[in-house]
Each structure stands twice: as C-alpha cells, then as structure tokens.
Structure 1
Amino acid sequence: MAIRSASLNDWESICALVDAAYSPYIEIIGQAPAPMLADYQRCIQSQPTFVIEEENEILGLLVLEVSEKGFYIENVAISPIAQGRGFGKQLLLFAEAFGVEQGFSKIELYTNELMSQNIAIYNHYGYQETARLEEAGFKRVYMSKSLSRSTQN
C-alpha cells in the first residue's frame, strides 16, 4: 500500500469511494453524511488531501485541514472492499505524523454521534471525546489526540 497526495485526476475515484464508504450511514443518521456533500475538487486544490492505494486502486482517502485554529482530520474514508485491512490505521498514523512535522501538538476530528463504530475506532487509537455539538443539521462528536514525536508508532 502507498500513501500519496491526491490529484485532480483522482477526483472521480475519490467521489465513488466516499459514496461507497458513507452510503450505509444514510439510513442510520437519516440523511447523507457530511463527507458525501463535500467538494473534493476544492479539497484536492486547497487542502492536504491524500489517497492510499494498492495496485493502482484508490482504497482510502484522507483530507486534512490546517488553519490558525489548529490541525484537523476533515475526512478519513476507506472503501468497503478494503475495510479491516489496516488502511484506516495507516491513514490515521500518516495524519498524526504530518501534524507533528507541521509543529502541531494536537490533532482533532469529528464524527456523527450515530456512527458509534467510528467513535470506538478513534477511542482505540487514543482519541478522546472533547464535545458534542449540533451543527449544520448534524449531531457531531468532537475528539482530539495529543501529538508528540514519541506517540508515533
């Protein structure tokens, strides 16, 4: 598996991957999850956006946000055909290493409160819940993790 920066040539594959990864949640949360509504052409052009691939097939996506407010994982998505194979873990570790390289001491993310499996995964990798808010019609669970060179494993 290889992680690389996304290009506009990846846009259609990224959109298909996001739709496949998040469509099972439509019934659970009663609407399309926020990542399904994102403009991935804009993300590729303006944010650190990465894909993980195997044999030239994009199997995962990582969109980061770096701002004066902090360092965030905006989206991590894994194709259903690749779930359970460690791709998500690799993208999380990549995001954390990226944050350390950029000088951040904390990484943050949010997920929908009804995506309990995602919350459990993030907890497993050391993310702690910091808030629950309703924004843009979504009930979100905010989480964060302290970063240091010694926490990268």
Structure 2
Amino acid sequence: MIEPPAIEPLIEPGIKIVRIDEDFGRWDELLALILSSFAYMDDVIDPPSSAHRLTLASLAQKARDEIAFAAIESGRLTGCVFCKPEPGFLYIGKLAIAPASQGKGIGRRLLIVAEGIAREKGLPALRLETRIELTANHATFARWGFARTAENSHPGFTRATSIEMQKRLD
C-alpha cells in the first residue's frame, strides 16, 4: 500500500490527506464532492464532463484501479485526486475541491501527494487534461508548474475540446 508523503505541516490546520482505499466507505459523499466541484462547467464545456457518468460503483472501481486520495477538514471531504500510472507519466484525474473550500491550497496539496507517488514509481512527470474552455484552470495549473503540451478532441468533435498539460519533476 502506498502512503502519502508526510506533508501535514504544509496544510492548513485541520486538513488531513488520506488514501482512498478498500476501507474508505464514503462513496456517496465523494461522488457529491466531485459533482459539486465540477458543476460550474455544466453550461461552459462541450461535451459534458465525464463526472456525470460516475456512479457509486464506478467510483469505487476507479479507486481500486487507480491511486486516490481525499482531503478531509473537520470530518468533511473537501477534495480528492485520482492518479493513474502511465508510461512516463502519472496521470492526474478528477482533481476536485469542494466549492466552499477552494482557495485554501487543498488542490496544490493533493498535487504534492501525486508528485510523491510519481517519484516513488520512478515517473518523471505529471500529466493532466483540462477542457479548452476552462482558461482559469489553465492559468492555475500553469502557476503550479504545468505547461501546455497538446490539444485534443473528444470523439465526434472536429475542434479541440481539451488541452494536455504536463509538469516535469526534478
């Protein structure tokens, strides 16, 4: 079992990062967190977010197939990230922060955990995709050290619908 690196001193008091594993059991709350944090995209992106296709069962399976972490503050789930090893990268997916908890550094702290996982697995970079329309996300990821590396199209689209960003780890 992979444990998150010791980063607790970097986090606001009362925020804890935990591994989402077979003992997790808070799938309803996790699904609600993801859906609420992605809700602002509903009238902005096309095609709709894949978050809408998540179910409790598929979310639990995703956690078994990937390496996932949750941020917990005062007993509430406030963030999550799913990490998937790929050749040469650790793919970052479903990075979600509860709307009321944004701006506290939780997303950045979850990425620090992801960086630790990538290093443990000998992977030299993080990789993520974000929708082309979400320019504020592009800017945030750029501030966190990610660089735009590609534009991609979802099936059935002739225009770019997402961008890929990577962060090299030194």
* TM-score normalised by structure 1 residue count: 0.89
Separation (CA, whole Å) in 2 of partners of 1:69 and 1:99: 9
Which among 123, 135, 152 is matched to residue 104 of structure 1? 123
Choose between structure 1 and 2: higher strand proportion. 1
Any unmatched runs of 5+ in structure 1? Answer: 149-153
Counterpart residue type for residue 33 of structure 1: S
The answer (yes or no) to whether the contact 1:131–1:143 under 8 Å persists in 2 is yes
Q: Which has the larger radius of gyration?
A: 2
- Offset of residue 31 of structure 1: 4.8
- Alignment CA distance shift 1:69-1:145 (3 Å): closer
Residue aligned with 1:23, SS: helix
Residue aligned with 1:107, SS: strand
Does residue 147 of the first structure (1) align with residue 163 of the second (2)? no
Cα deviation digits, residues 64-117 of structure 1 (max 9, x gap): 111346321022000001001111111111111211121111111010011111
**In the alignment, which residue of structure 1 is the partner of 2:16?**
2
Residue aligned with 1:27, SS: coil
- Alignment CA distance shift 1:35-1:84 (3 Å): same
- Offset of residue 144 of structure 1: 0.3
**In the alignment, which residue of structure 1 is the partner of 2:140?**
121
**In the alignment, which residue of structure 2 is the partner of 1:62?**
81
Aligned residues: 148
Separation (CA, whole Å) in 2 of partners of 1:135 and 1:30: 9
Does residue 47 of the first structure (1) align with residue 66 of the second (2)? yes
Does residue 28 of the first structure (1) align with residue 44 of the second (2)? yes
The answer (yes or no) to whether the contact 2:130–2:163 under 8 Å persists in 1 is yes
Query: Identity of aligned pairs, percent?
Result: 24
Which among 86, 90, 102 is matched to residue 105 of structure 2? 86
Matches within 5 A, 1:72-83: 72-83=91-102
Choose between structure 1 and 2: higher helix proportion. 1
CA RMSD of aligned residues (A): 1.6
- Offset of residue 11 of structure 1: 1.1
The answer (yes or no) to whether the contact 1:18–1:36 under 8 Å persists in 2 is no
